[in-house]
Amino acid sequence: MNKILLSILITILIGFALLFYNIYFDWSIGISKTFNFSILIITFGFFILILYGILKYQN
């Protein structure tokens, strides 16, 4: 597994970790900035992953 793919997967995992942290420890505040930030990280990670897959298998 190359380093680009590994870093993308780590980014997605960090996003999910922030999401679960927000659900279990920060829920008294409600939908906070951490929640929106984690959704942004997960979406960005999957977007980069799809883009990387398209570019890799197009050649």
The Cα–Cα gap between 5 and 23 comes to: 27
CA distances 37 to 3, 16, 24, Å, are 24, 10, 16
pLDDT tens, residue by residue, 3-50 = 878 888 888 888 788 777 766 666 655 566 666 777 788 888 888 888
Domain-wise residue ranges, the chain: 3-58
For residue 33, count other CB atoms closer than 10 A to its CB: 10
Mean pLDDT of all residues in 46-56: 83
Looking at residue 1, its pLDDT comes to: 60
Q: Angle at which helices 3-25 and 33-58 pack, to 10 degrees?
A: 160
